[in-house]
Chains A and B, each alone.
Chain A
Amino acid sequence: MSERFTAASGRRVVSRTSAEELGALAHIVVDVEETQVASLVVGKGRKALVVAWEQVTGFGPDAVMLADDDALHAPRDDGERAAAEGALELVGRRALSEMGNELGTLDDIVFDPATGALQALVLGEREEPATSLLGAGAYAVIVRASEP
């Protein structure tokens, strides 16, 4: 089972305990080292709130379910504030190979909605395994890729 970041964007976020709609999924934050979804940024009105992946109890085709209403919280540190502003968004970022060649743009990321594990990086018409993601910084995401 797999899901794409771009397809998941905008999906409603619902509390499992109260059934209240808490907002809409704005960004997915990635732990590059673990090739894993680390947290979600949820837009609620004009606010952007953060929820750790561990608090996500279900990532379905129609809604993202959270353990409870309190799982969402305001950004607590610089990292979370950057995430809330969308500055950690990897999709749309320049992609460079580790050999220093441009690979275009990271168009999408495929992940397992059950575990949050990243599965593949979409670079134009090609896909690279998520394990080829070497780093992600302000300038580019770095990918170990077979050169075009």
Chain B
Amino acid sequence: MGSLEEVTSGSGIAVLRLDRPERRNALDSRLLSELVESLERLSIDDAMRVLVFSTTCERALCSGVDVTEVLDHAGGVARMRSFSRFLAALEAFPLPTIAVCVGNCVGGGAELVAGCDLRIAGDNLKLAWAGARLGVPVGPARLTPLVGVARAKELIFTGRTIGAEEAAAIGLVHDTVPAADAEAAALRLATHVAAHAPEGVRILRAAFRELDGAQDASRTRTSCWRSSSARGWGCRRAGARSRPGRVGRTRVSSRRSGAERRGGSRVVARRRVGVDRPRRADRRLRAAPSPRGRRDRHAEEAMRLLVTAAAIHGLPVVTIGGEDVAEVRDVIYSPDAGRVVGLTLNKRGFLAGRRREVLPAETIHAIGRDAVMIDGIDGLILPADAPADVGAPPAERDVTGNEVLTEGGTSLGRVRDVVVLAGSKGEVAGYEIETASGGTGYIPLPAQWAVSGSAIVVPEATKEFVKDDLVGLGAAMDEFRSRLDGE
């Protein structure tokens, strides 16, 4: 049986309950491992909105690292590394986190509390940083941004225990309730947060992560060795060359439409997680075939192959050497060439500002779902050195909002976005359009067409291929092009 209980709701709220009541949820090797595994898994779950850390016993959220766990030297080292990985995973978690602060929250438990974004206190809270008492250098990094340097020093150097009233007075917790109601209060708060647009919340979470200095600390460390001659780091292996591409012009608005991010409702699931749970059986159960399951797999396949320009916005630009050097600001699309011809860029990090360089399509290795890959930072060039279509794209060629007319004069709707083939250097599969009824449709990119500043004329056959989702677009592309070739 594991030491962590996980409950996931259909509204995207996950609750991780520490479940070692006999040790007041002290962190032993297994519980740390389970926490890391859960954080890593939930962090890549697109349906997740908020994560709540709670407990199965009101006496403690977490009483710190379990000093009674019998470990040899190697085991001790491994546990320390697990603890570091847990804190790193918590720091890097892309969604808001809430701590249910009841009973003992001491040492590593206090770090968990401070590492969360929001905190609800039970009236039995006993919160203490034990770093000075135990000679362990933890505490300042997470506590100081919350309460200020002076108060953090006092709490950490003395290691004294504070209760809910004092924690509220110094702004460390946002609400105090009876211990028995703390989790419910945290879930109400989570529901409130989860009701907001998930992408916006993720961006804000990243912004706060940077503000609290965690990212800066990491960058300071990495900057030391990025320029070093350390063998094997930051380098790329030979053999991953990109192919030459074509260029064209015109920019597409890069607002996020979210159409491809829609997901079905999730069934409330309750299960235990742990090293000894029957994972494979669990997976088999979840993979049981059903018509809905097949549909989901088709949807996943389409999502794997197709991505809207809006979804490319904000993606990191990553070298094959593994360094993130920029993020996508705008997608420059040429309706004449029928492809993405380049990208404009922002610096990495929220509010970091625009990057002067642009990224012509020729230097893109692949546009993926999660990153735009380039061979090296040399691919980023100044606009003056880039092809005119990329360096100075004419704004009047923006196809967003253009009416899509068939040759016979039927209006199919207005262009909302372009749909790009994932894994390509910018090949466009079709358009996302807003139909006359206000709905969303997708049309495959025709082989021949005409473009003006306000309208796009497409072959008559296009109207038979208006699909209501990316899955349909993926299926229609080949047939549509075959039809045009036949005509």
Give the B-binding residues of A (Cβ under 8 A). 9-12, 24, 26, 29-34, 38, 43, 77-83, 85-88, 92, 96-102, 104-105, 133-142, 144, 147
Contacting residue for A24 out of B44, B74, B225, B227, CB 8 A: B74
Q: B residues within 8 A CB of A38?
A: 231-232
Q: A residues within 8 A CB of B112?
A: none
Contacting residue for B229 out of A79, A97, A140, CB 8 A: A79
- Tell yes or no: B365 within 8 A of A by CB: yes
Shortest beta-carbon distance from A83 to chain B in Å: 7
Contacting residue for A87 out of B77, B221, B236, CB 8 A: B221
Q: Once the chains bind, are B85 and A43 in contact (CB under 8 Å)? A: no
Residues of B194-230 at the interface with A, using a CB-CB cut-off of 8 Å, are: 218, 221-222, 224-230
Q: A residues within 8 A CB of B235?
A: 32-33, 135
- Tell yes or no: B370 within 8 A of A by CB: yes
Q: Once the chains bind, are A96 and B318 in contact (CB under 8 Å)? A: yes
Q: Once the chains bind, are B322 and A136 in contact (CB under 8 Å)? A: yes
Shortest beta-carbon distance from A95 to chain B in Å: 10
Q: B residues within 8 A CB of A80?
A: 230
Known contacts A80-B230, A101-B422; A12 and B74 CB within 8 A of each other = yes
A-B contact pairs, 27 of them (CB 8 A): A9-B81, A10-B75, A12-B73, A29-B232, A31-B231, A34-B231, A38-B231, A79-B228, A82-B224, A82-B225, A86-B81, A86-B84, A88-B233, A96-B318, A98-B373, A99-B422, A101-B369, A102-B369, A102-B370, A102-B371, A104-B40, A104-B44, A135-B234, A135-B236, A137-B324, A138-B322, A142-B318
Name A's interface SS.
Answer: mixed
* Chain A residue nearest to B367 in the complex (CB): A100
* Chain B residue nearest to A93 in the complex (CB): B322
- Tell yes or no: B269 within 8 A of A by CB: no
Q: B residues within 8 A CB of A87?
A: 221-222, 225
Q: B residues within 8 A CB of A133?
A: 237
A98-B236 Cα distance, complex, nearest whole Å: 11
Binary interface encoding of chain B residues 333-377 relative to chain A, with 1 for a CB under 8 A from any of its CBs, else 0: 000000000000000000000000000000001111111110000
Shortest beta-carbon distance from B170 to chain A in Å: 32
Binary interface encoding of chain B residues 297-334 relative to chain A, with 1 for a CB under 8 A from any of its CBs, else 0: 00000001000000000011011111110000000000
Q: A residues within 8 A CB of B231?
A: 31, 33-34, 38, 79
A104-B44 Cα distance, complex, nearest whole Å: 8
A29-B230 Cα distance, complex, nearest whole Å: 10
Q: Once the chains bind, are B365 and A98 in contact (CB under 8 Å)? A: yes
Contacting residue for B228 out of A11, A82, A97, A100, CB 8 A: A82
Shortest beta-carbon distance from B377 to chain A in Å: 11
A100-B423 Cα distance, complex, nearest whole Å: 7
